[in-house]
Chain A
Amino acid sequence: MEEGSKGGGHSPQLLNLIPDDTEWKVREAEDGGRPRNTSFDAEEDKKLELKLGLPGVQEEEAAAGPRGEIQQQQESYPALSLGCFQVHSKLTTNTASSGAKRGFLATVGAKPEGCNQRHQDREGCGNELTLGGENMAGERKKGCCPPSSSHDSAAAPVHSSSNPQGRGAVLPVVGWPPVRSFRRNLTNGNSSKQSPERQSDEAADKAVLTCKRSPLVKINMDGIPIGRKIDLAAYDSYQKLASAVEELFRGFLEAQNDLACTESGEQGAEEKIFSGLLDGSGEYTLVYEDNGGGKTLVGDLPWNVFVSTAKRLRVMRRSELPQGLLKMSPGEKQFTEIRQIFQPSDCASCAQSAFFWMTLLAYEDKSNKTNVSI
């Protein structure tokens, strides 16, 4: 409050320093008549919302719009938001994470290029949430799960209460706040005090650790020199993964086709390229390496097992998929190492996968229990 009074003292002085003060005053007067939405005209607002917002946002905006009533809002919303938030925190971790997934996919549809990294980071958090649920304080949960899904929109008032402009549910945008990606994961990271019960459950600990270590899985495609990374936790089925893979590489493929001056009008062909990723019927097949380095066809194992064991994905040409050794095509640096192809019948790996699966299930069980007890 002390600062407030100080500020009041200074601002007029500053105002006077702008010579054409009148312009401001006019603007302010205009704004004063209307609800004081200082920075945007209603018209402009709508435009912007089209870009950023969910369908529901506008109503919300209308309700929360008048900036003159900020104080009121702030008073009224916390009560509301508290309720919402409690509900929110009671949700099982599972729904929380799948909600985030939906949000992710929606965003990917709109802007896949370059945005992925950040969303993946966020999704990394989401995944951790699922695994390490019992360690999560409410605030962490809130931080990790952006209000990006329909499910989360229930909690929207929380955000607008702290965002008195009343811009409705704030959709996270790429690159904001402007923090490097390696700083975004700090909440999951280092501090032991954030998870005091950590040692109580070794399996959980393990799961959290693996999640922490590699939220992203590298993926390469035959013939494309640039590798990408993908967050498996952001998807919940092989089908979604396949479409994400397509998103990742289609651009490159097109670029290569452009470069090679191949006949145009092969858009259909590209569709085909990706159509058989999972069943091996197309030109390319999705293959993954597990922790032991063995290769498996994606789709052979239950999704959960796959997520917990996949270390690296490859989109391989069918012709390069023979039993036995991988052929290295000249100029493809990625394939400096020749690896054994993993046989689905390989007992050791199966056992390993099964172990991971069981650990995971066991853990999920426990986390659910804890959540109930909370």
Chain B
Amino acid sequence: MSTPHSPSSSSSSQIPQSLTLAPAASASASSSSSASGMRDAAEDDSDSPPSQMSEDDPGGGGDRWEPDLRGGNGGGGGGGRWAPPDQVLENVLESVLEFLTAARDRNAASLVCRSWCRAEAQTRRELFIGNCYAVSPRRAVERFGGVRAVVLKGKPRFADFSLVPYGWGAYVSPWVAALGPAYPRLERICLKRMTVSDDDLEVVAKSFPLFKELSLVCCDGFSTVGLAVIAERCRHLRVLDLIEDYVEDEEDELVDWISKFPESNTSLESLVFDCVGVPFNFEALEALVARSPALRRLRVNHHVSVEQLRRLMARAPQLTHLGTGAFRSEAGPGGALSVSELATSFAASKSLICLSGFREVNPEYLPAIYPVCAKLTSLNFSFASLTAEELKPVIRNCINLRTFWVLDTVGDEGLRAVAETCSDLRELRVFPLDATEDSEGSVSDVGLQAISEGCRKLESILYFCQRMTNAAVIAMSKNCPNLVVFRLCIMGRHRPDRITGEPMDDGFGAIVMNCKKLTRLSVSGLLTDKAFAYIGKYGKLIKTLSVAFAGNSDMSLQYVFEGCTKLQKLEVRDSPFGDKGLLSGMNYFYNMRFLWMNSCRLTMKGCKEVAQQMQNLVVEVIKDHSDDEGEAETVDKLYLYRSLAGPRNDAPPFVNIL
């Protein structure tokens, strides 16, 4: 399917595109947008723990939905009023479409004609909405009749890093209010980066009698009060995954939510609450685990000691995914669990393939996991400040590891051990222990180079460091051609190649050139426009691009907009890009889910121009502080997205929708 970018993408040498765009531009953009970019690559934004990625992986989950942006006739394919030409044909069509699961295919089918659109809408079971403000809840429920699962996303990803002011929005309330009456058979809700109140959870619990799965990822606004309602009232609950949420609780307002799971509920398959940092009723959890023979995934919070962990493991030897909690002993000296006792427990958990937790790890207990290491495919040590010496014996046992998360305390030396042992590794994340710009950083290009040589099947990497070289990045691009996600964060801004002093342009250039499957890229370090020329020229599959402290002119943005024809999400911060760069993307905004820019050089004038020319775009200018009443000429934060619903009505005063 052709998109409007393709003609212009071939050359990167032309002069900047005219700033004024013909009105026709919007028409052409909207005509193609509904067909483009329907399916996302793995949505493993940010720091989701390993299993979340399998959750989110479209390969497994299948159908997703994105707003149909045909705008136009207001009816928007709502169907219903049009009598089908042939009822029989319609039925046949529906039966066939039942088997169509990929959202991309479904979106294509819905474009054939009205009757196909209707049939597709009636048979779509999972609604995926990548931006909760892109379509109104009413419109969504009017179009789709028999939805069983809803996936909704809210805030822009930079919210993870405190860049979206508190109270910005992404409230789930209007959605649950609309979904309740429309989908009595709804079974699954997955929310990401949304504000979810306890009341919302109560509405969920009351509205859907068959409700089975709730996943809240990076959400905030709720507390154990809401969790208690979910646990108590969703009698068929199978999955309750709370992942990296900010749970608002005070210790004196705690509700014993774990014990609210009714005795009759024996169908629990997954319970993840490591982000719910408050103490909980352990006995109730133990009883719950004991009566849940189907439980496969359990991640407890840091209040669980190894002694308690052992009790849980004894109750649930069938677990495949385990989050260990603290991984240290609570008992006093003498009474502590011995390492061999704990090792026995692990040895008995024959199904374990995924281990995480280790929130307050006592390294002495690490040998206890040796018995399961060889079977592990996923290991998350990203909260455990362990040295290379402590990690190496574990790593040496993990011969089948596919996903490994670790802190940079692992050092280049530890990474070398990973490279030597884990030849099957697909995903590596190295987080910083000390996440500051001037930290020393204990991994470098040396570790990256080693990984690239040892882990040739690598598909995804997130690497925080301070010292990097183009050579190491180039080596990775050659050694790991299957890379889909490459996120390198050189924490000190504007840092060049540590040896040559050159910008990092060639390294990132090599990545986009040699990794043909790359869909997600985060760049850092000293970068000139040249890097973006490479990205535009070669990054043809890139869907998500994150830029910080990079580039030297508006040309950077232009290269990206014109070259990266599959671009869905672009987030830029602290880069010298102004209105000219922004306007060069005018033709492409419709094809993108969003553009976020902060601390760049945008002015109100440029943003207004975009808003005026593009009718179905919402241009949000976010002020840092609500008290400068005068309309500032410079724009600190811009959040721009397509929407069928028009400007939202829940914007706080610091958000100015142009």
Contact = CB atoms under 8 A, between A and B. Distances in A.
Interface of A: 1, 3-8, 10-11, 14-15, 17-20, 23-24, 27, 38-41, 44, 47-48, 51, 67, 70-71, 110-118, 139-140, 142-143, 146-147, 158-159, 162-165, 167, 170, 172-184, 186-187, 189-194, 218, 226-228, 250-252, 254-255, 258, 293, 311-312, 336-337
B382 to A, nearest CB: 8
A163 B470 contact: no
Q: How large is the interface on B (under 10, 10 to 19, 20 to 34, 35 or more residues)?
A: 35 or more
B340 interface: no
B501 A186 contact: no
Interface string B537-581: 100000000101111100000000000000000000110100000
Contacts of B362: 192
Contacts of B431: 179, 183
Nearest to B244: A180
B544 to A, nearest CB: 13
Given A4-B471, A11-B502, A39-B503, 7 more contacts: A6-B475, A20-B12, A114-B164, A114-B166, A176-B491, A179-B432, A182-B275
Contacts of A250: 626-627
A85 to B, nearest CB: 11
Nearest to B14: A20
Contacts of B118: none
Interface of chain B, main secondary structure: loop
Interface in B417-443: 431-440
B162 A117 contact: yes
Given A251-B653, A337-B253, A18 B534 contact: yes
A48 B654 CA distance: 23
Contact of B47 (A67, A139, A180): A180
Given A228-B166, A252-B167, A17 B12 contact: no
A258 to B, nearest CB: 6
Given A14-B509, A139-B440, A191 B492 contact: no
Nearest to A217: B250
B447 to A, nearest CB: 12
B499 A177 contact: no
A346 B502 CA distance: 67
B577 to A, nearest CB: 11
Contacts of B449: 3
Contacts of A170: 437-438, 492-493
Contacts of A255: 626, 652-653
Contacts of A158: 438
Given A170-B438, A187-B434, A162 B492 contact: yes
Given A7-B497, A114-B163, A175-B158, A39 B552 contact: yes
Nearest to A108: B625
Closest 6 CB pairs of A and B: A7-B471, A175-B161, A114-B165, A3-B471, A20-B13, A143-B434
Contacts, number: 261
Interface string B130-155: 00000000000000000000000000
B469 A227 contact: no
B537 A39 contact: no
Contact of B626 (A15, A182, A190, A254): A254
A89 to B, nearest CB: 14
Contacts of A293: 252
Nearest to B522: A178
Given A18-B537, A113-B166, A10 B471 contact: yes
A173 B510 contact: no
Contacts of B623: 113
Contacts of A193: 363, 385, 387
Given A3-B449, A111-B625, A118 B510 contact: no
A186 B405 CA distance: 15
A262 to B, nearest CB: 14
A180 B653 contact: no
Given A1-B499, A183-B47, A167 B432 contact: no
Contacts of A41: 552
B612 interface: no
B470 A7 contact: yes
Given A18-B534, A147-B438, A170-B492, A39 B528 contact: yes
Interface in B443-484: 445-446, 449, 464, 466, 469-472, 474-475
Contacts of B361: 190-191
Contacts of A7: 469-471, 474, 497, 499-500, 506-507
Contacts of B627: 250-251, 254
Given A186-B383, A193-B363, A175 B162 contact: yes
Q: Which of A114, A140, A174, A254 has the most CB of B within 10 A?
A: A114
B233 interface: no
A6 B478 CA distance: 12
A191 B435 CA distance: 16
A190 B385 contact: yes
Contact of A4 (B433, B437, B469): B469
Contacts of B522: 178
